[in-house]
Structure 1
């Protein structure tokens, strides 16, 4: 069993932490000489000191809870809305950049306490919001002024970021395995080989340094097709674009909607059947490439 197989199997095994999974990716990246992937793994494991290095999945839109001050020193808490505030301001005030290490995020995400996690607005942001209140462009509470505001980071948000890193590792291993099955072994293929370099560089620029989900329409062609968490119709449409026939699409719907305890094994079985040619795939794409792209789509659907 290769190291790539370990990563692929580990990504669908809840008993394997995402931190441990990425350490295996680190070994593969080191043996390949894939510096960009290696830096990404190290930042995921150790944290991102520079917000500019954050991949798109670590920049998330969140809800904001405001504390309002009113008559007789009263306080009210109420969610805020971007209302008619400038779009560039809303993108800052209602989003959070999460640069903590995976280990920290995994610990916070597993915390069963009721404590609310959040990132407060700067005082200047509170002043700006109150100015928009005076201008009548944002929601407000009569006779109250905004005293403070907190971006709420739920444990679900943290789990979503952790899963995104996990899915990124899975997609990387699947794409690499489709081109160079021996990649990651001692003395195996490296970035000096053009096909390996192309797969690694394309994956990095598309899934780590860029945004969106990419769906292959052929061996050397990629078309943008967006699949978001829980959107079954978008998943099936994208699978159809890959070339999966109606029978395969029906089976895909069944496995992704299966009971959570059975879903990982059903997904693995489905992808194996795709690779073995159990379903008809459209022209211009091999069964192996189709299986790789379907795995990425399923990961995006699961969030």
Structure 2
């Protein structure tokens, strides 16, 4: 049986795990002496560790921290560039681990922790962080599924390229001619890179009025409105029962009232009152 055609069938068969398909691809790439593809298979099987990752392993999410009074609330950085940087993560776990995550959670969201060093460098100066509100990145389960599908598709496309170049293999072996043909075909995995970036000099705000005061002022929010929001946020940590419900409603109404001037910031502030 042709090794390459067998690999194609495996890649198209959704009942076969991506881990199993990867191992088959590893066998084929090793026998064809395709070092680059072999190394890629090794990284996908064993994980990237601290190495940079391909583009399909970059995910985007929402950074939140758990407030004992308000539940999960968004983390707002002092500038949009830093906000974007902390909202992206490079996923370096082995494919088998990602498959386990996906199978253990059929829908909804997954939580990604930040490396300890990054936590302290980025958030260490935040009062909220020092009080135990640890930021995490919340991503959709579908993004992890997309990583697995990207790996499966890359293997399928690679096997099709081999077939087009007359490289099929038989009985777990390839001829010298097939090895030469395979070495002449190029296949690009994509530029590898990591994501977190340099946000060491940015400040983080978690439900903290002082942290967004300047942004509200720049957005043209009147002093009276800014004072009202500050009072609501000051009162919420101690409020319970009907009083807390009333403050949440006031906060939501405040966001609606000032939404046009707030722009993109309105979504993050709104989540403080949900």
**RMSD, matched Cα:** 3.2
Larger-gyration structure (1/2): 2
How far apart in 2 are the matches of 1:163 and 1:23? 15
Question: What is the 5 A alignment of 1:60-99?
Answer: 60-68=59-67, 74-80=69-75, 85-87=79-81, 89-99=82-92
Contact 2:109–2:138 under 8 Å retained in 1: no
Shift in Å at residue 60 of structure 1? 1.8
2:168 pairs with 1:182: yes
Query: Cα–Cα, structure 1 residues 157 and 51, in superposed 2: closer, same or farther, change >3 Å?
Result: same
TM-score, structure 1 normalization: 0.53
Structure 2: runs of 5+ lacking an equivalent: 194-274
Count of aligned positions:
186
Shift in Å at residue 156 of structure 1? 1.8
User: Which residue of 120, 124, 134 maps to 1:123?
Assistant: 120
Shift in Å at residue 170 of structure 1? 0.8
2:182 aligned partner: 196
How far apart in 2 are the matches of 1:178 and 1:192? 14
Shift in Å at residue 188 of structure 1? 2.3
How far apart in 2 are the matches of 1:198 and 1:91? 40
TM-score, structure 2 normalization: 0.58
Contact 1:33–1:191 under 8 Å retained in 2: no
How far apart in 2 are the matches of 1:81 and 1:115? 20
Q: Deviations over 1:99-158 (max 9, x none)?
A: 111111111110038884222461332357789xxxxxxxxxxxxx99432111432222
1:48 aligned partner: 48
2:105 aligned partner: 112
Contact 2:167–2:178 under 8 Å retained in 1: no
How far apart in 2 are the matches of 1:161 and 1:149? 24
Shift in Å at residue 44 of structure 1? 1.0
Query: Cα–Cα, structure 1 residues 189 and 85, in superposed 2: closer, same or farther, change >3 Å?
Result: farther
